[in-house]
Structure 1
Amino acid sequence: MGTSKELKLRCWIDIDGKKFFGSGRAQLLMMIDKNGSLSKAAKEMGMSYRKAWSMVEDMNLRGQQPYVELHKGGTTGGGAELTETGRKVLSTFLAMNTKITATVQQHTEEMLGLI
C-alpha cells in the first residue's frame, strides 16, 4: 500500500500576535465584491451573517483604513462594497499567494521525494 504525501502551505497576516488576514477573509472580500452584499457573501460561503459582519468589523478597525463600506438598508435595500484599500489588500494578497503557490509547486516533487 502506497503512502500519500502532500505539501501544504497557508499564509496569513498577524497583527500583535492575533490573526488578522488570510485566505478566509480574502474569500469574504471576493464574495462581497461579487455580490455587493455582506449577507449574500456570507450565505454563499456558508457562514453566518454575524460571523461575516464580525470579520468585516475587525478588518475595518484594525487595518490602516477600512476595507469594506456597509450601506444600511431602506427602500432600495442595503449593500456592501470594497473600499480602495480593501481592493488593494485583496489583490496584493492574491498575487502574493499565487507566487508562493508557484514556488511551493516548483519544489514539491523534490521535497516529497526526500520524505
Structure 2
Amino acid sequence: MTTREKPQIHLRIRLDGETAIGPGKADLLEGIRETGSIAGAGRRMNMSYKRAWLLVESMNRCFREPVVEAVRGGRARGGATLTPLGEYVLAAYRRMNEETNRAIGGEIEALRGMLADNGD
C-alpha cells in the first residue's frame, strides 16, 4: 500500500459461527449478478468453479432463503441470478463496509502511521 492510498476496512460478517458475507463473497455475488453465471463470476476472480460453488452454498445455508438461484444446464441453458434477498444482502454489506470505513478510517490511518518502517 502506498502512502497515498486510503486504508480500507473489509468486514467479515459472522452469523451463527459462519462467515455469512465478506469481501470475497460480496465480489462473487457482484460477479454472478454481472455475468449470470457462478462459473463466470469465479473465472473473473481467478477462482475455480468448485470454490465459487462452495461459497454460494455457504451463503445459501446462512440465510433463511437462498441468495443465489442456479439453473443447471450447461452453457446454453444454465445460469445463476441473485435472489431479492441476495440483492439485499449484497447492498447491505456494501453499505456497512462504507459506513465502517467512514467511521474509523481516521483511527486506522493513525495506527498505520505508527507501524514500523517496512522498507517501502
CA distance 1:108–1:12, change in 2 (3 Å): closer
Q: Distance in 2 between matches of 1:7 and 1:41?
A: 26
Q: RMSD between aligned alpha carbons?
A: 2.4
Greater Cα offset, 86-95 or 75-84: 75-84
Aligned to 1:18: 18
Q: Distance in 1 between matches of 2:28 and 2:109?
A: 32
CA distance 1:26–1:75, change in 2 (3 Å): closer
Superposed structure 1 runs of 4+ greater than 3 Å apart? 6-10, 106-115
Aligned to 2:118: none
Q: Which runs of 5+ in 1 are unaligned?
A: none
Greater Cα offset, 17-26 or 71-80: 71-80
Aligned to 2:69: 69
Q: Distance in 1 between matches of 2:58 and 2:113?
A: 42
Greater Cα offset, 73-82 or 103-112: 103-112
CA distance 1:7–1:30, change in 2 (3 Å): closer
Q: Which runs of 5+ in 2 are unaligned?
A: 116-120
TM-score w.r.t. the length of structure 1 is 0.82
The alpha carbon displacement at 1:15 in A equals 2.6
CA distance 1:44–1:110, change in 2 (3 Å): closer
Q: For 1:79, give the aligned amino acid.
A: G
Q: Distance in 2 between matches of 1:109 and 1:90?
A: 26
| Secondary structure at the counterpart of residue 14 of structure 1 | strand
Sequence identity of aligned pairs in percent? 35
CA distance 1:68–1:75, change in 2 (3 Å): closer
| Secondary structure at the counterpart of residue 76 of structure 1 | helix
The alpha carbon displacement at 1:101 in A equals 0.9
Q: Distance in 2 between matches of 1:50 and 1:66?
A: 18
